[in-house]
Structure 1
């Protein structure tokens, strides 16, 4: 306990009066004194501040000079006087004028007019030492000090850690709680070794001059560990030092994901984990030629073993054995093309390298992931290691004649490939120059000045003269044309759009070219007038008939009844009030030889029920989600087939179109038609053309190809893509997207 030197104590012990106080009345008081060290009485030179408080306000202050201080101009009265060391050196702590070390001075200092002397001796503080380790090894960390006893004003006790060693500033006597935080890799503990972020009892009790040792060993906070080994040439295994380990939290990919490396013994440890993790292992660098591998032995993420860490679990033994691959070297080079340009080694970000490995059991090349993320630089693609074997490489490069962002810039595709490249273990195989020549992708547009001219253009590009039948449907509404498209596709004839009261000139010209063996008018006289029927009779040497019903549902049943025999392989049900699902369904129905029947959302109509009963289809497919066709319709439909009743649908009209194509058409279709998913006119004739040529109709947005459609295009790998309608329906960006997809497809499936 520090002593207050040379003090006069007044009765009751409630105030401290400086010695040698002047008896003069009136005026102000001056406070003087000396600051020394309690341990040996040595002076504290210019290392102490003196603060004079009245209440909670500092009214005067001074700095000790040659261990003495003087503060003048104090009004007589009661004060609190605080002495604090302000420099490094002796391990001293501050104290009040009455020798206490709490938040306030317990016995006030009384100042009288004249001279007042107050000498103090500062006490040495307490210290905290010890060690901080994690799983027994020294670590750095942060120590939070929680004072449980009141401290001097402005005092901030600090405890620090350096390479596992704990040290503190001089601390006032009292009770303390401590929290030791080693970072996210470790579970925080308090001074009692309890895993917590709030100190528990008992606290540390520190006395003057005492040194208290605290040794804390933190437990890991969620840990995965294991050993990385590599297969040697003789088949033995060796630890792989410095292997790269990439871990990804699948629950929160942007958090608790990162990289680490194995130690000299091949061992890796990842701490601070909480969630489901995927681990990928790679060699130290490219020169090691190590094949990347996911935990679980898979080369791809799809087959990766997932490790779940919850409640700070410690999971060990996640070992992996890596293999050595081989390196391919070579240079992709343009072959100059007259009128296009493109010469020398390519250096472009618009390049796709596709790798396929020979499956010796089947004799076929199987697509494998590219071995490295690098882009080609001067023709060298900077590839990583490949599994030993025989390979084929296919390269597609987009060449722009001008700035890609500039209006009018022309886009060309260069293509090349090499087959039969043998890659050996820990070897470099040079396949030399790989020439790239221009490649044409058949992406076109079928369009006209209006919906009627577009209809004629689609027909002209698809059907030769002498077709067995041509269908005429009202071009201002969609139901009859959609039901007719499935029939037209099955009969190998077009659907041509007409006005209600007359046949447009473009359609008349196309009918004259086609010279159909017969013409079928779809819908009643309110949809297509008798005048149109009369005109149609002049455009064929065969019959002209009408298929119609009381409404769109009965018309679809009439078209089906006139076209399809009992026992069809499939019948499709589509919402009769919207067009997207039926549009894609018409091409699928034509492919499989079944009708598209229209239905209301909530129930089948009597004519459609009767037609389903007659057809007795082997299965029924409902097009669209429950918002388009309710579950009640599926239940009704089950009565009319001994087979399955399924639904083809997706998250939206584009995904539904893609889903229907995926279950209907195999890869390698001759053609795919792209139609605007928001408007119907240009697409109506395309459904019949698609059905006739054995390809699907996929829906797209006016300004681009949605992801679901692009994925299905890649799977289909079509020989040709036709966009239905002019730029008002589908912009040129759709055609550019289609060419990009075909370029990708060509590299995927050479």
Structure 2
């Protein structure tokens, strides 16, 4: 099965395409096999020259049978590129043997479909995505990509019925080729059956083909005129029944004027597949054809007028015009000879030699930056005009300025050295053959060379107890005196959690005390800080009233306040009331008994100047609900999974807020993965500093929360002797966004081992 490719009757230049459905263009690609010269056309995709350097070998095997399961011998199988084809690289074909088996090897560019043409009375078909042969068309053609062997099994070829008629020509100066198409209509819509009309001459030319029964319209084309001629039923469909249909006639009337000649390649060989276009200088339309295997071409039906001939074929040479007396084509229309074709007859002797052209530009240029260098890769030009590339050059550009060029002999990669770290560069590639240089390629995306990262550090802040560690965290991070210090009971961590965002946003430390005593390390740090104000977190049962005088003496503070409530929920609400008197964008919600899940959110809340409120496992305490109503948040972040804060509480929280807030949940399978989730959600751009605490040693982490907030740093959790996988993943994610300069481990080697500290160091830099 073949279909002629043509343009429209108004006259069209090479390159014009008229789409007629998926199957039609596949059939058009087979013209190179049939020997029918192609113009532009009905359903043909733009031609692509085959590039052996980019070829992929695919082998298809199977068996062609009829509906009775009997083998079909002599069927032609064609691997037709779904990107089109050129005469210099026709589609690959194979025939079935006496037993119906076949083996078809395709070495063209990736992406082809399988078309099967059987001997009479079988109809031509294409393999579809269901693994079956679809007669005439398939809306789901299977496209083969990549190499390797594929066994297709038995494929059934459908038997058709015969349709026949005549193609009657008059006024043609030489034999010509054409084609016809039966196009499905009505219930047969989507079917296309194309067939060649070879060796047409003046008079009646009989034709026949096989199709499936149905409703059709008929159209025919003469390739040399590139013109469509409707059949007798062009505007209405006719029915092909089970016994077929005869008397389908086409009529082609020519002008009696023609031109002919030969095309030769630069090496003196016949140039097959050269597109020959006769351009009418008065604007009366173009006519075009292609040279045959011997390089001969004929335009058999020209309207009377004056013409210039231009010729083009990437497989044998570049574009050019015919000039009388010139040894080769000339590059521009202004120097072309005008041919007078106003009288009947065939004018001969328009013989041309194609000039050798330069290759197309390389494609797919990309670059990868290194230290003062970049490695550049690219793809071979789509058209090398049949010769090898002996050299590529790669040029680096800083902005619009070319700064360095390197060359390589044939390899499609090169490294450009001597670049400046921190400067953005793009790269363009040029190809060279013995017949010239290609245009410069399109620029690569910009890349910026940079020096290798300097390894960061992993340090430890610790103390003999939780009180000492908190004091040492403060000492390492807060140098300013005269501010505010928050004091929490070292055994009453919920109060400290609620205050951590407030302390962080205010750049104030949290220190730990006992109910009735100030540990020595805390007292020493209070003396160093000389705070103007001290805030006691929790009621007198947590930090006794007698402590007020003691902390004043130890610190010299003029003001001591107590932020507290009747329980941990009320204390968190009181902290929020004092620190956030107006409305806020975000509120963080944690289970008052599930503090590990909320721990990592403390610095995040501090950075965003947001409060943390507490809920019970099964309810929203009234103090929490009242504070939500006052804060009117736009967003509520629930910390921990549904086993910590049940799903049912989300609607209650939203109702309490009364501000139609969005509800999001940051959770993981355990405290380590929850902290990792909080970190990846809140630090999407990475972090220069990361704090790491033992997941079972929460006082150390709470003391560091204000510091982490000040430094825009997350808190992640580890085990004493291991880094959980979720924590490791979070560290890798942070490092992929930006370099981690410092990891600070909270607690001594009994809390986080030296081995873990050494492993953490590997995530820096």
Normalising by the smaller structure, the TM-score range is 0.3 to 0.5
What TM-score, normalized to structure 2? 0.45
The structure whose Rg is larger is 1
What TM-score, normalized to structure 1? 0.46
